[in-house]
Amino acid sequence: MEKIIQTIANELNIKESQVEKTVALIDEGNTIPFIARYRKEVTGGLSDETLRDLGDRLSYLRNLEARKEEVKKSIESQGKLTDEIIKDLENAITLAEVEDIYRPYKQKKRTRATIAKERGLEPLATIIIEQKETKNLEELASQYINEEKEVNTVEEAISGALDIIAENISDEPNYRKQIKRICYRESVLETRATKPEEKSNYEMYYEFSENVNRIPSHRILAINRGEKEEYLKVKIEKPEDKIIDIIEKRVIKGQTQYTSYLKECILDSWKRLIEPSIEREIRSDLTEKAEEQAIKVFGKNAKQLLLGAPLKGLTVMGFDPAYRTGCKIAVIDETGKLLDTTTVYPTEPQNDVEGASKTLLLLIKKHKIDMIAIGNGTASRESEIFVSDLIKKADHTVHYAIVSEAGASVYSASKLATEEYPDINVSLRGAISIARRLQDPLAELVKIDPKAIGVGQYQHDVNQKRLEESLTGVVEDAVNKVGVDVNTATPSLLSYVSGLNATISKNIVKYRDENGKLTSRKDLLNVPKLGKVAFTQCAGFLRIYDGKNPLEVTAVHPESYEKAEMLLKQIGYKKEDILNKEKLSEIKVQLNSLNIPKTAKELDIGEMTLTDIIAELTKPGRDPREDMPKPILRNDVLKLEDLEEGMVLTGTVRNVIDFGAFVDIGVKHDGLVHISEMSESFVKNPSDIVSVGDIVKVKVIGIDKERQKVKLSMKI
């Protein structure tokens, strides 16, 4: 365990003591959000992202150690374990290295070498590889002719012996390690078109090559997809002469009668056994690293999207665009409650603009609608033109915003949507989801499979189990950062709260329905299956508004209530005073002027915990998403035809990928800011510059009307 702690500390550039204490917390069953928020003193203030990386590495390295033990026992049971093998296993830092060490001792399927061994040709292989015997090889081989064992000729005997040597060479871990190192350093990945005459998304790869050690993640995934869809043929060109030369120098001991046989054998070992296996490993390794990067990018984008600023206190009309089947409309009040639904047909083929306008203007007046949320899917462009004309005729100011509808149809047909709206048509549920996304992105998006929220890069091509684990962590971090109103939250939102699962979440809602609102966090202990351990993990993240204890509108954990009250008493106030606006202003001034180290000692509390308590007491009930950029509200429409090169516009970042960012500037398709156009100085990673939801100023630098593509620059 000591070695694991050292490795993680070095990799994450943190202290060994931080790793050791964090591992102990994880092993005790504490969740990452809980550790990140309420155990800062123990971890030294490690962020939720660092803690997740630590947890992932801990799991990998523990699996690595367990596998080393299994391999050691297996080799020992064969009576072949040596000090050298033990040392090699101890030094192995990846599972691939361990498997290479185990390769010669693994139970094999019947190969040419195993058949040769069954035929008694191993002693002859030993003679050839040792290169000491001076007797004529053919004479030596003749002693192994055995018709019963199907060795009928001298040539068959020598060929079988060489098969054994070829397999031994390919199984030698030291050779493989060196060959892999050379291949990673000097190989070139080449792609060619399988159907050069066909147009596709992979045309840039129809004749393409790049060094294996230079190729970026997004290109690996694009090439993999092109290969899977049978547009591309992929090969890795390796420095074959150099590799064969290295093996020959290790195997051949001077010029003897065996030299030509061994050269032939080494070439066979490389071509038939080593090269295909190494190619598979390199491709697999490149894919794994590319997937990890894609999952990271997706997670970062998803987190920003989930933490998008809510538009509170507004009555919203959700507008789900379509052509033939009509645009679905849903009106929700400021709490998200459904008020009205209808379907209108302002788009082709009906083009009933007049009838649709009449219906929607009545709804706008009836429900005093402030905002229209338009989905960005099919017919979004035409719907936006219709809405921008419509709101000019309204009797009060109405704005609209374009909302990503990714995953809305998935949600509409889900079991969850059926439970929420059993009497509402599937197609109308999408409009409800679009409206609610604008009002409270987090509460709505947690109902959707994270893969479907449309902010990734090749998310459907990556390891789905790994993606799911990562995204669950991202959603958990977002939900716990914001906090959840225990009296209004849906089971799907509650299930992401630290310490809760789907069953307990449903039990909370059931308890709420049967007993009325919870008035204290302690009431949670009455919920079936929510024990003391789960309570400790979840309590600080659940908010109770209008309850018995004012501290429960904050993220102050019940374990710190006493200290929080002592702190307030020290400056002459009671906990009830934080809900009084006038007194709160005075409390802020007093708390912000405190000497943190001195006060922490007086209260016998950690400085980081004290700082967090002060932050909560000065802004009780505050939503951290209020600091995030608000959606751009529009009241007029921009067409692709309106764009001109050099035009400067304001847009919203919709997606950040390895090679740049897509920005919504109000035309049908998002424009691309390539990584080279993000800054005057070199940009290594686009996410260092922008995040999903950011409002940015961009300049139009290219318009491709035929392909409906816009190139943008942030270098203004």
Residue 492 and residue 495: Cα distance in Å, rounded? 5
The H-or-E segment that residue 371 falls in is: strand 371-375
Q: The domain that contains 598 carries what CATH number?
A: 1.10.150.310
pLDDT at res. 637? 59
Backbone angles phi, psi at 347, to 5 degrees: -105, 175
Residues 324 and 391 in one domain: yes
Six-digit token string for 454:
């449309």
491 Cα distance to chain centroid: 23
Mean pLDDT confidence for 12-39: 95
Strand partners, 634: 400
pLDDT at res. 692? 86
Residue 86 and residue 94: Cα distance in Å, rounded? 15
pLDDT at res. 235? 95
pLDDT above 90 for 318 = yes
Asked if residue 464 belongs to a domain, the reply is no
Looking at per-residue pLDDT, the higher value among 571 and 407 belongs to: 571
Asked if residue 494 belongs to a domain, the reply is no
Residues 186 and 54 in one domain: no
Strand partners, 512: none
Among the residue ranges 65-79, 608-622, 627-641, the one predicted with the least confidence is: 627-641
pLDDT at res. 635? 64
List the one residue out of 631, 628, 691, 689 whose CA is nearest residue 656. 691
pLDDT above 70 for 498 = yes
Residue type for 514, please?
E
Residue 330 and residue 371: Cα distance in Å, rounded? 12
Mean pLDDT confidence for 136-161: 92
Residues 132 and 258 in one domain: yes
Asked if residue 204 belongs to a domain, the reply is yes
Asked if residue 285 belongs to a domain, the reply is yes
Residues 522 and 606 in one domain: yes
Residues 64 and 195 in one domain: no
Strand partners, 320: 328
pLDDT at res. 66? 95
pLDDT above 90 coverage of the chain, percent: 64
Mean pLDDT confidence for 591-597: 93
Backbone angles phi, psi at 402, to 5 degrees: -90, 130
Asked if residue 194 belongs to a domain, the reply is yes
SS3 assignment, position 400: strand
Asked if residue 488 belongs to a domain, the reply is no
Longest dimension (CA), the chain: 107
Mean pLDDT confidence for 647-662: 86
Residues 101 and 116 in one domain: no
Residues 264 and 328 in one domain: no
The H-or-E segment that residue 648 falls in is: strand 648-657
Q: The domain that contains 650 carries what CATH number?
A: 2.40.50.140
Domain boundary among 378, 404, 439: 439
pLDDT above 70 coverage of the chain, percent: 98
pLDDT at res. 659? 87
Q: Per this entry, what is the length of the chain?
A: 716
Residue 591 and residue 370: Cα distance in Å, rounded? 38
Residues 79 and 226 in one domain: no
Q: The domain that contains 26 carries what CATH number?
A: 1.10.10.650
Residues 53 and 130 in one domain: no
pLDDT above 90 for 70 = yes
Count the alpha carbons within 13 Å of 218 in the hemisphere toward its beta carbon. Answer: 12
Residue 168 and residue 301: Cα distance in Å, rounded? 48
Residues 605 and 655 in one domain: no
Mean pLDDT confidence for 158-187: 93
Strand partners, 112: none
SS3 assignment, position 100: helix
SS3 assignment, position 254: coil
Residue 320 and residue 387: Cα distance in Å, rounded? 12
pLDDT at res. 647? 84
Between strands 399-403 and 371-375, the pairing is parallel
Asked if residue 632 belongs to a domain, the reply is no
pLDDT at res. 223? 94
Q: The domain that contains 324 carries what CATH number?
A: 3.30.420.140
* Three-state helix/strand/coil letters over 33-84: HHHHHHCHHHHCCCCHHHHHHHHHHHHHHHHHHHHHHHHHHHHHHCCCCCHH
Residue 206 and residue 199: Cα distance in Å, rounded? 10
Q: Name the pLDDT band for 666 (thresholds 50, 70, 90).
A: confident
The label of the residue with tokens 């109405």 reads 398
Domain boundary among 594, 627, 660: 627
pLDDT above 80 for 103 = yes
Q: Is 349 exposed, middle or buried (0-12, 13-18, 19+ CB in 10 A)?
A: exposed
Which value, to the nearest 10 degrees, does the dihedral of the CA atoms of residues 87, 89, 90, 94 take? Answer: 140
Strand partners, 318: 330, 373
Residues 209 and 96 in one domain: no
Q: With contact defined as beta carbons under 8 Å apart, do 683 and 713 qualify?
A: no
pLDDT above 90 for 468 = no
List the one residue out of 372, 364, 343 whose CA is nearest residue 438. 372
Residues 246 and 126 in one domain: yes
Could you read off the pLDDT of 337-379 as tens digits, one per residue?
A: 899 999 999 999 999 999 999 999 999 999 999 999 998 878 8
Q: Would you list the DSSP string of 427-479? A: HHHHHHHHHHHHH-HHHHHTTS-GGGGS-SSSTTTS-HHHHHHHHHHHHHHHH
Asked if residue 612 belongs to a domain, the reply is yes
Give the number of domains in the chain. 5
pLDDT at res. 357? 95
pLDDT at res. 98? 92
675 Cα distance to chain centroid: 21
546 Cα distance to chain centroid: 37
Which value, to the nearest 10 degrees, does the dihedral of the CA atoms of residues 54, 57, 59, 65 take? Answer: -130
Q: The domain that contains 267 carries what CATH number?
A: 1.10.3500.10
Residue-number span of the structural domain to which 361 is assigned:
316-439
pLDDT above 90 for 596 = yes
Could you read off the pLDDT of 245-291 as tens digits, one per residue?
A: 999 999 998 899 999 999 999 999 999 999 999 999 999 999 999 99
pLDDT at res. 309? 85
Looking at per-residue pLDDT, the higher value among 458 and 132 belongs to: 132
| 412 DSSP 8-state letter | H
Domain boundary among 419, 439, 459: 439
Confidence (pTM):
0.78
* Three-state helix/strand/coil letters over 306-343: HCCCCCCCCCEEEEECCCCCCEEEEEECCCCCEEEEEE
Q: Would you list the DSSP string of 150-201? A: TB-SHHHHHHHHHHHHHHHHHH-HHHHHHHHHHHHHH-EEEEEESSTTS--T
pLDDT above 90 for 135 = no
Between strands 695-704 and 671-674, the pairing is unpaired
The label of the residue with tokens 């309590």 reads 539
Q: Name the pLDDT band for 18 (thresholds 50, 70, 90).
A: very high
Six-digit token string for 150:
């199907």
SS3 assignment, position 687: helix
Separation in Å, CA 275 to CA 159, 224, 278, 580: 20, 20, 5, 74
